[in-house]
Structure formats: structure tokens, C-alpha cells
Structure 1
Amino acid sequence: MSAEKSRLPHVPAHTRRTFLSLAGALGLGGALAACGGDSGGLDTGGGGSAGGTPTIRQWYHLYGEEGTEQAVKRYAAAYERATVDVQWTPGDYDSKLSSGLLSGNGPDVFEAQPKVDMIRSGQVVPLDDIVGPVRDDYTETDIASSSLDGQIWGVKIVDDCGFLYYRKSLLAAAGVQPPTTMDALIDASRALDRDGVKGLFIGNDAGVTPAFGGGALLNPVLWMAGTANLTAENTVGFTTPEAKDAFAKLRALAESGSLLLGAPTDWWDPSAFTQGLAAMQWCGLWAMPKIQETLGDDFGIVPWPALSDTVGAPSTFLGGWTSMVSAKAQDVELATDYTKWLWIDNTEAQEDFNLSYGFHIPPRKSLAARAQKLQEGVAAEALRIFNESAVAESPMWTPKMKSAFADAATAIVREGGDIDAELATAQQAVEAELARLSA
């Protein structure tokens, strides 16, 4: 999630694991992630390494959180059935992973966000056999993010989400309550825009342009209206009257003059909030330790508001990463067993991976429920919001669909474009992609 720009996602000086992970839900992860590529000097031949020991090639994107690389190599070294070579390299992870999976010289096990083209082209194998027995220990949102065509294609290894962070003292001074609807958010942002502090920071792009880690609200603008970019039946979901009303509200927020624009970093980095540039900021779970370190108890969190008291619901994105097995793995059974051993059976490693080097949620519900760092205060509230309000982006949502929708959102919110016309143009592009996928 994260955009992390260091660890999402699919980011800040904060964490690539985090921001890049976003993705999933935001589709930002690949833009800023790093790690993939050529064989990186790993053993790519035959069925094993020296002495006949089988070799598993495992790929990660570049996590920016100190200690993470050493940790995953430590986990890998403990697996007894094979030698696990961990590839950890900077660069365009999505492109390198795509090339590796096509060439056969790529990973046996890798992290990604499951997407329709990867699945339908047979690049990965289903993992129902290892996830099925513990399926109920994952949220339905996690399962949905990893499922397509009635099968589960990966094991969630990191969960991330976002919050509307707010300064308690500034809201109290302005007589403002944490907003739960869009009208309340617009009013709060205006009321808090004073004394050299802007009311709200949602990104230098007003939340709708994906380039350089933006586009943070491309999904929440629909979720708050009770819909999504694609419906459960894989039809366009962003042209409902409620979705159009949501875009009108987001444009009104952008035109209010109360948003912080031109910040040194973007929404995934909490610096604008911690430095007092804005009284509220949409940012990720990964930022919480830094915010707490800087502001102490002078902050709270809520999910993104609903459209109104009667339409939609508060929401947050489901970010993070999913472990998958290549259909071209040297030994698919062994690669699947390793995935099960590490990401399902080894709960100690899973908690360590999520909470010892950054701040994330272990996907297993039972593990998150007993993780000490998630039991009290704002961290416990974060876990509650995640469990109640996280929404997964459909694996059917392709880059072409996202690009068309983002163009429409940018034109509407930042350029005053006609809502009906812009969404109709995006609908045509998305329906053409859906037709391609169903051909």
C-alpha cells in the first residue's frame, strides 16, 4: 500500500511496502514499488541448486522499512525442504515481474496484487487448497481481493488501509466534530482553514490524478456513494446518480479553497499533517507511528466519510500485498508448500513481518486480534475501522479502466468538466475492456 513511497504498495520516505501496496485498492502500488526484474544472479536453471537441493526463487518489491529484507531472508533460511533465494532489487517491479513470469526465468513465489490478465493468461496457480482450510480466518475483503472466477489465487501477507487523520486540538478550537458525511467534511475543512493552517490535505492532485502517487480518492469517491468502479456483476458502477452526486461533492471540496495544495510530499507522507500545514489529512496506517511520535495523543482517526447519513457508508481502502505461485515454477507443489509454510502456518513470522519493521495489519484475523501492538488506543481503533470499513478493488479492474476513470475524475474535480459527459466517456472505455475480457 504502501503508494507507500518507500515500503506502501502497490511509498513515502515512509514505506514502500506500505504505499506501494495500495493499492490493491488504489492501484498505486506498482507506480512506486520496486523489486523484480532479471534473475538477479539467482539460480534459474534445472530443478535445484548445488548438491541436488531444490531451489525456490522468491521475489519481493523493494521495501523501504529498515530490517525487512533481513527478516524475509531469515524466514526463507528456516524452510527445510528447499533453498529459498530471495530477490530484492530496486526498479519497476510490475514491469520486471511481468517479464519474468512470461519468460520462465522469473520467480516461483512472488508478491503482487491479483489481476485478471495475470490469472486468465494462466501465469499463476489457484491456492484454494491451502487457503480453504483457514478461509474464515481472513476478512471477506481479503478473500475478495484475491479471488476471481470462483477460485483464490493468493495468500494475503500484508494489510494496509487509510484514515482521515485529524488534530484534536484544532478541531476543538474551531468547534468542529470529526466528519462522518461529505457535507460535514466540507464544512469542517472550511472551518479549520485559518491561522495559516489549511483545513484538509488529500494530495496535491485533490485526490484524483494517479501520476506520482496521487489519486488517493479514486475509489473512496465511489465507496462513499454505496457503489464501486465495477459492480459484483462486473458492470460499470460509477454512473449511478449517487456516484455523480459524490463527484459533485468532491469538486465542491476542491473548489472550497480550504485544501492544502503544493505540499512538499504527497498524501502518503504525513509530513503535511505533522508539520501543521493542514488540520486533517487522508493518509495510511503506515504513517501512524510517525504521527504518534510527533503529535503524541493530539490526533484521532475516522474512515473516509459517507456521502450522507442515508447514502453510502464510511470506507477505507484495502491495501497490502498477496503471495502468489507462478504456473512456471520449477516445482509448483514445492512452491505452494513454501507459501503455506510461511504465510499460513508461520504466524510468528507473519506478525514480525507486519509489525516489527513498519506498522501494518496481519491478515489473519486471529493473529491481528491478539497482536499486542493493535490492542489499545488509536491502534485498536485502526483495526476496528479496517475490519468494518475496508473495501477491496476488483481484480477485474485493469490499468486501461483505471486510466479512463482517472481521466474523467481529473476533468470533473480539477477542471470543472461535465460530470455526465466525462463519466460516459470513461464508461465506454471500461465497457470495451470488459468486452475484451469476456471474449
Structure 2
Amino acid sequence: MSLPWGDRVLSVWWGCAMRKHNRRAGTHRTRRVVLAGVLSAAVVVAGCGGGGDDGERSEKRGDTTCDGRLEGTTDITVWFHAGPSGELDTLRRQAKDFNAAQEDVRVELITLPEERPYDDLVVSAAASGELPDLLDFDGPNLYNYAWSGKLKPIDSCVPEALKADLLPSIRKQGTYEGRLWGVGTFDSGLGLYVRPSVLKKAGIRVPSGPDDAWTATELTGILRKLRKEGYGKPLDLRLNYTLSGQEWNTYGFAPAVWSAGGDLIDPGDLRTAEGFLNGPEAVRAMTTLQKWVKEGLVDPNKDDKAFTRGRSPISWVGHWTYPEFSKAFPDDVKIVPLPDFGRGTVTGMGSWQWGVTAGAVDGDAVWRFLAHLLKPREVLRMSRANGAIPATDSAVELSPRFAEGGAERLFIEQLKSGVARPRSQTPAYPAVSGAFSRAFAEIMLDRAPVKAALDKAVRRIDKDLADHQGYPSAGP
């Protein structure tokens, strides 16, 4: 299963045979392109299926990606980020079922090798004009891809009924400059996993929801109390994920900065990080996190088993660990909100999204397949494969874990109530995340002075902004 922020280390010696299909009325023509490197076998999946034009299309068009017409048979290519996994197996079956159900669109699923980072493959293919028709990408990269012309807006493709069925977090992450550019079939959830039996035995209250989340100060006291109860390092922050430059650092811990009242970049004009990422609120939040490490309250989790082996009864992590944690402690795992650092609890959101590329052969053909993936049954199939949060209300209602009273219902409440926030919605996001992630690693692993590390991150971000003239809305 892939993590929600994307496998930065995903791919093999690259080289994949891909087909780029150019549609002509009533027929299709195939252009074969061999990308640089060792040729890898592309997986051609006969699977395209039933359309998704039920309901009126968005009236807020402003784009011509879809006009509601298909002529003849159109072949489309699809890239997906995951190597061998339950996700990939599920997508293969979905594509096969789709192709078998109709004859208007044929999907060719291209499996990429697994040693070169997926984002690098996307950038290289964009530079050479060889992106597929339908691209899977890590959600926060949407803003850069849209700004740089890699994607087409899709308001003209998405029926209003379907748009209304999407979780608000999915719509928000897919929107840039007031237009919809991408849509996911699943979202992510982030919180604290706790062992209620351990907390109750120690006389520690268990939060019931976002309105009564622990404060950061309260959590510090809880960790100290648990240490006295025999848990030497009671908190798991998934520091085993915290390599310099890894997206976990931003996905997992930007919420602490937001909760304190800080930000990674000026949320108003998105032109500087000065005074936001290195302001007193952000410094205070990161100092608290570092203090937990300095006090020895955080398990380094080198074996990835701090929670399941019982060393840490509190784990700051996402939805993907629920199956493992609940198996280790049946009926003794509860998900509670992240701590409140001063301005209320805030959590992360966002995962992989689909977008129609600028060079797509036919927007309606691409949307026909994407609409198939967004049917409730298909959304649920993928959610069961990767454990992620279903992207539509109709699919959530079919999933016991996320429906009212379900074990992971908190994730839905957070995504729908505004407690969850998207990562910075700017074309500069790759630079913003890279700089914050490096600073986080320095602060937490190297115990660098907090303010100095954040100042350095601000300089990196502001240099990128200056290099790109502030990312003007007109594009590069």
C-alpha cells in the first residue's frame, strides 16, 4: 500500500514502453514512444467501462476539456504511482472491467518501474511531451502541475451531482485558482492512536472528538505520567519516516504549526515564508515537539513496531496503520485528534489524485474512465485495498469503518468539518515542503536550534519564490 503523501522512492531503472494515442474521428492512431533507459514491460489492461455522464455537468465550465461527445473508439493511456500492491491489482481489475463493459474507450494501464522517484518520471515525461492521458499524482503537486501547464481543468467534465458527492476535502485539494484540476478516489486521515486500557488505568482521560482534544501542554503531562507507569518512551511520532526531505514530515507535522497559529508560507498572497514558518507560533510548536524528543519521551521506532509491541501506547500517524494496530490490540485501539497547540486541533489531509493531462487525446474519453473509478462500488474497492478514506459520501455510507459509529469515523468528521487542512496550495509547494521537511529532520533528529532551522527553511522557500517571480498566475 502506498502512503498518502506519495512514495518518493518509487520506481526502477526507468524506461517504459508507452503508447500515446492520437484520436481521429471514428478511428484511433497509435504512436509508440520508448522512454530513456532500460525498456520495461508495460502492462496493457483491457479494461474500460461504463461512462459517468449521469447528472448535469458543471455549469462553471470555463474550460473545454469535456464537451460530452465521443466519436468512435478512443484509446487512452494511464499512469499509476504504485508498484506491486493491492492498489495496483485493484486498478488493473477496475480497468479490465471497464474495458469489458463498453467499446467507446479502451484503457491502457502503464506500470512504471520502481527505482526512480515517480515525481521525477512525471517531470521528465512532461519535458519531453510524453505524459499519459490520465495521470495519477500526489495531491499537493496539483498546484504546480496546473500552474506549469501539465494539466487541463475539469469543471466541464464533472457532473454537479458527483461534485456534491465528493468529500469537501477532495474538492478543496483538487481546486487551484478557482477551478477544479484533479479528483481523487480516496483521501487520508491523521490522528493519535491510543490504547484506551492503558490510559484509563493511568487515570488519563480519552478525548471523544475534536472539541475536547488534548492540548499540547496536557499531552506533555500525559507522556510524563505514562513514563512513570513504566512506558519509557510512550510516544511514537514515526521518526523512522523522518529522513531529510521526506513528505511525512510535512504531512504529519505541518498541522502542529497550523494549530499553533503559524503557517509554512503567507496564506494570503503566498509570496513569502518570512514571519510565518519562522514566526513565534511555528517556533513554539516545533520547540514543543523537540522537547518531547529531548526528554526521551519519543520512541525512535527503528523497527516500526513501537505501538504494536506495546512500547508506546500513543502513536501520531495516519489511517494506513489501523489494520496493523487493531490486529495487535483487538478492541483496545482508539483514534483521537492531534493535540491543540493553541488555536484548536488541526490535522492533515490529501492523497493521490487523478488529472487529465494537457496533451490528453480526448477529455471525454479520459473522464469516462475516471467517472467509472468514482462510482461508489469502485471507490469502495480501492478503499478496501489500501485502507484509505473513501472519497465520496455515497461510498462512505457503504463502509462500516467510516460510517457513523465506525472505528475510523473521526477521519470523516475531520475531513468534513474543516479540522483537516490541505497542504499549502501554491505552485511553490515542492519547495515549501522540501524546506520544511529538512528543517523538521534537523530539529527532531539532529536537535538543531529550532529558530535557526526554520530561518534556513524560510530562506530556501523565499529563494524558490524569487527564482520563479512569485509564480505569477499566468504561468511560467
Task: Specify the TM-score bucket, using the shorter chain as the normaliser.
Answer: 0.7 to 0.9
- Structure number with greater Rg is 2
- Within a 5 Å distance, the mapping from 1:224-303 to structure 2 comes to 224-230=259-265, 231-234=267-270, 235-236=272-273, 237-265=276-304, 271-303=305-337
Match in the other structure for 1:371:
399
Question: What TM-score, normalized by structure 2, do the two folds share?
Answer: 0.76
Cα displacement string for residues 77-120 of structure 1 (whole angstroms, at most 9, x for unaligned residues): 23532110112234232222222233233310011124333222
What is the RMSD of the two structures over their aligned residues, measured on CA atoms?
A: 2.8
Identity across the alignment (%) = 23
How many correspondences in the alignment?
Answer: 403
* Offset from partner CA, 1:2-50 (integer Å, 9 cap, x none): xxxxxxxxxxxxx21xx1x2x2xxxxx1414459964x44433543368
Q: Does residue 65 of structure 1 match 2:86?
A: yes
What is the CA–CA distance in structure 1 between the aligned matches of 2:296 and 2:198, rounded to whole Å?
Answer: 18
Taking a change above 3 Å as real, the CA distance of residues 97 and 37 of structure 1, as seen in their structure-2 partners, is farther
Indicate yes or no: 2:387 matched with 1:387. no
Please tell me whether the aligned partners of residues 31 and 213 of structure 1 are also in contact (alpha carbons under 8 angstroms).
no
C-alpha distance in structure 1 between counterparts of 2:354 and 2:288, whole Å: 38
Contact residue 55 and residue 83 of structure 1 kept, 8 A: yes
**CA distances 1:350-402 after superposition (whole Å, capped 9, x unpaired):** 222212x2322121234324434422331223322333322111231432222
Aligned equivalent of 2:351, options 308, 320, 335? 320
Q: Give distance in 2, aligned partners of 1:160 and 1:190.
A: 30
TM-score normalised by L of structure 1: 0.82
Q: Residue 156 of structure 2: SS of its match in structure 1?
A: helix
CA positional deviation for 1:246: 1.0
Aligned to 2:8: 31
SS in 1 for 2:169: helix
**Secondary structure of residue in 2 paired with 1:163:** strand
Deviates more, 1:175-184 or 1:150-159: 175-184
1:61–1:90 CA contact under 8 A, matched in 2: no
Q: Which amino acid aligns with 2:259?
A: M
C-alpha distance in 2, partners of 1:244/1:79? Answer: 56
Question: Which deviations, in whole Å up to 9, do the C-alpha atoms of 1:170-218 show, x marking residues without a partner?
Answer: 1122222246111112222222235355201102369684449656533
Gaps of 5+ in 1: 1-14, 24-28, 266-270
Aligned partners of 1:102 and 1:123 also within 8 Å: no
Inter-partner Cα distance in structure 2 for 1:199 and 1:250: 14
> SS at 2:223's partner residue?
helix
Which one has a larger percent helix, Structure 1 or Structure 2? 1
Q: Does 1:142 align with 2:118?
A: no
Report the counterpart of residue 89 of structure 1 in structure 2.
Answer: 112
1:401 is matched with which residue? 432
Q: 1:373 to 1:221 in 2, by over 3 A?
A: closer
Q: Quote the residue 2:128 is aligned against.
A: 103
> Contact 1:208–1:413 at 8 Å: present in 2 too?
no
Q: Deviations over 1:130-170 (max 9, x none)?
A: 33624333344322211222211111221111221011121
1:342 to 348, 369, 372: 372
Q: Given residue 201 of structure 2, which amino acid in structure 1 is its aligned partner? A: A
The residue matched to 1:218 in structure 2 has which SS?
A: helix
Distance 2:12 2:424 in 1: 24
Q: For the Cα contact (< 8 Å) 1:160–1:360, is it kept in 2?
A: yes
- Unaligned runs of 5+ residues in structure 2 are 31-71, 207-212
Correspondence 1:165 to 2:200: no
Q: Structure 2 CA distance, aligned partners of 1:390 and 1:217?
A: 12
**Residues 438 and 215 of structure 1: is their aligned pair in 2 closer, same or farther, counting only changes over 3 Å?**
closer
